[in-house]
Amino acid sequence: MIRFIIVVIILLGYLVLLIPVLGIEWIIGKFNPRARDISSLRMVQGVFKLMLKITGVNLIVKGEDNVPDEAVLFIGNHRSFFDILITYSRCKDLTGYVAKKEMEKVPLLSTWMKRLYCLFLDRTSPKEGLKTILQAIDYVKNGISICIFPEGTRNKGEELSMLDFKDGALKIAEKTGCAIIPMSLNNTSEIFENHFPRITKTTVVLEYGTPIYPKELDKETRKHLGDYCQNIIQDTINTNAALIQS
């Protein structure tokens, strides 16, 4: 329970104490938008890394050299709020996450999310959902990676299970030609969700898969791209389960 309280204090303290920084970065952005964006990225990553350190997570990372130095579409399985902290803290360059529309209503947090090119997906409106995907496509074309969890929500089922992938998310790669980087996450719900409201020390595995370029796949595979990507992630989390048990 103490870890949970400390993590909450760190998050709230960051959001409140750095309000003046938003103004400073706005000024910087008038002269050098890239410097502003990288500054925001590194600050948020620093806070996330501190929060993860407080949790006592033993993070095993595999395949990070599979991520090319270009804008990509990150996709992964999703079981915990900490999936965002773990993956975002390792982004090499600008990356916007696709979050649920409700997050846009959270004061200060949504301000920082927008600053970092995050997008808010309205899952109840296909029209608004399409607008979000089109904005994500535009970001990728401008060199900003996108991360999305194609299950559409946190999976609260068995540890090695996955919800069906939503194919619409993969249109970002199909329309831009960027690589899809599958991210496989093991045991993240053991950090918090399985022990709510306590945060516990545990081992987590994050593996980045080989880049998938949709245009290089055969027609039949492209037709079922969601299933193809999901099977790759499923196989990886099944394999990495042994690392948790050892």
pLDDT in tens, 33-81: 898 999 999 999 999 999 999 999 999 999 999 999 999 999 999 999 9
160 vs 79: CA distance, rounded Å: 10
Q: Identify the residue whose tokens are 């619409």.
A: 168
According to the 3-state scheme, what is the secondary structure of 156-202? CCCCCCCCCCCHHHHHHHHHHCCCEEEEEEECHHHCCHHHCCCCCCC
- What is the average pLDDT across 92-118? 90
Is the pLDDT at 173 greater than 90, yes or no?
yes
135 vs 177: CA distance, rounded Å: 15
**Predicted structure pTM score:** 0.93
* Domain-wise residue ranges, the chain: 57-245
Between the two ends of the chain, the Cα-to-Cα distance in Å is: 27
- What is the average pLDDT across 139-149? 96
H/E stretch holding 100 = strand 95-100
- What is the average pLDDT across 150-167? 87
Q: Identify the residue whose tokens are 């999936």.
A: 83
pLDDT at 192: 92
- What is the average pLDDT across 93-115? 89
Confidence band, pLDDT 50/70/90 cuts, at residue 246: low
For helices 33-55 and 19-31, the axis angle rounded to 10 degrees is 150
CATH number of the structural domain 57-245: 3.40.1130.10
